[in-house]
Structure formats: C-alpha cells, structure tokens
Amino acid sequence: MFLVLAKFPGGREQAKQYLETLDAFVPALVYPDLAQFSGPKSQLRTMMVNPKTPQFPAGTQWALVRRLCLIDDHGQLRATRMIETLQTRTYKSIPDLEGSFDTFRDAQLFAEFQLDRAHESALRVVAAHEKDFQFVHFRSNGGDPFEQQTPAEWVKNLPLVRSETLRTCGGCHTYPGIFSLNTYTMFNTGAQRLDSSTLELETQRDLTWKMRRFDWGLLQGLWRQQ
C-alpha cells in the first residue's frame, strides 16, 4: 500500500491552499513550444504539463510510504502498520525550469529508509554511498538481469547493476518542484488531481484494487482447494 505524504513549511493549511490552487489552475496540459522543444519529434503531438504550473514553496517535503499488506489465517487481505520503505525528498529551493540539471539535482535532498528484516524488522537509513540492485524496486517492470545474463556475464556486469541507491532518485525526479512529483505529472504526461485524504480511505482503495485483480482471485481459488 502506497501513501503520498506532504509537509509544507506553513503547515497543513498552507498545503490545502496549494492543492486547491493547483486543482483550479488551467490549462494544466499544453502542447510543447516548438521553438524550445528538444525532444523526439514523435512527442510533438503529446500534451505536457504546463510550464507555468504553480509551484509549492521551498522547504516542502514529500514522502512515499510503502506499507505491507498481508494475508491472515482466513485467507483475507489485511493492511498492516509495518513500513517496508520510506522515501523522502526535501526541496531546499525551487529553481527555474530554464536551469541546468545539476541545479535541479542540488535543489533536492533525497533520503530513504528500508525495512531491516535482519534486525527486528526496524527501519534503517540508506547510507549516502550504499549500493544495491536497483532492478528489484517497484518500478522495475519485471526486468530481471539474473534471468537475462549468463553467470559469466553477470560477474562481468556486476558493478553496472549495483549502483548507489540515493543517486538513482534523480533519474525519475529530475525537474524542480511540482514537475518532479510524478504522482501529479505522471512523468510529464498528465496532471492528476491531488487532494487531501485519510489513511482509512487510502487503505480501503488499495485493498479494493488488489481484490479486483485476477491474481488475487486465482489465489483465493487455490486457497479454497486446501
């Protein structure tokens, strides 16, 4: 279960006002400016997030919380309070979109905490230069180098597939401020509505989503055969 949390310098009221401003802003999507567009020509007809989209203030912190859902002894899906990962981004400043990628990267402070199953399932901080297999996270899309390479190739390419975790954050969250928040921008292809919610509501949404999937129905069928 994923939760997107925000902490604004001015507190909850400032956050609510910003979300209302963002929701009322139009047009949220525009076609790219041909004079400034440097991407593939195939994207010229694709609408993108409006560069004039209102920004949240510097000092804002966003977090993505991944909580575990487990199956109880009756075969029912249950949400738990156990956190598997906690990823945070603190925006020290909000650079102009015309700036450089180095400026964008330096404007954010990335941090991550992971469930440490070897030490009483406590959260541990991911160190600054800590390396890990980056293809196992939730956006891997099923890619598995273990199955795609021979043992000799795997040994040879090991330094390439184990990279510094915190240095990979900027790959998906490159641009300044709201333009790096993919929950809203969908990687610059959409403008999703952001609204305040509750833990209870998000829990029910996630459980309902899972229980409507084919793989959950298949598991329920296998469970009843036992």
pLDDT at 216: 94
The lowest-confidence range among 19-28, 140-149, 176-185 is 140-149
3-class secondary-structure state, position 126: coil
Closest by Cα among 184, 78, 95, 84 to 124? 84
Q: Which DSSP category does 150 fall into? A: -
Place 58 in a pLDDT band, splitting at 50, 70 and 90. very high
Place 158 in a pLDDT band, splitting at 50, 70 and 90. confident
Number of domains in the chain: 1
pLDDT at 175 over 90: yes
What is the dihedral angle through the alpha carbons of 7, 8, 14, 18, rounded to the nearest 10 degrees? -90
Question: Can you read off the two tokens belonging to residue 149?
Answer: 């390479």
- DSSP conformation letters of 49-92: E-TTPPPPPTT-EEEEEEEEEEE-TTS-EEEEEEEEEEEEEEES
Contacts for 218 with CB less than 8 Å, ≥ 6 apart: none
Place 157 in a pLDDT band, splitting at 50, 70 and 90. confident
| pLDDT averaged over every residue in the chain | 88
Output 164 or 18, whichever has higher pLDDT: 18
Closest by Cα among 79, 94, 121 to 181? 94
pLDDT at 144 over 80: no
Per the structure, the complete domain to which residue 65 belongs is given by 2-225
Length of the chain: 226
pLDDT at 35 over 60: no
φ, ψ of residue 157 to 5 degrees: the values are -95, 5
Question: Can you read off the two tokens belonging to residue 188?
Answer: 């610059």
pLDDT at 37: 58
Average pLDDT over residues 89-97: 95
What is the pTM (predicted TM-score) of this model? 0.84
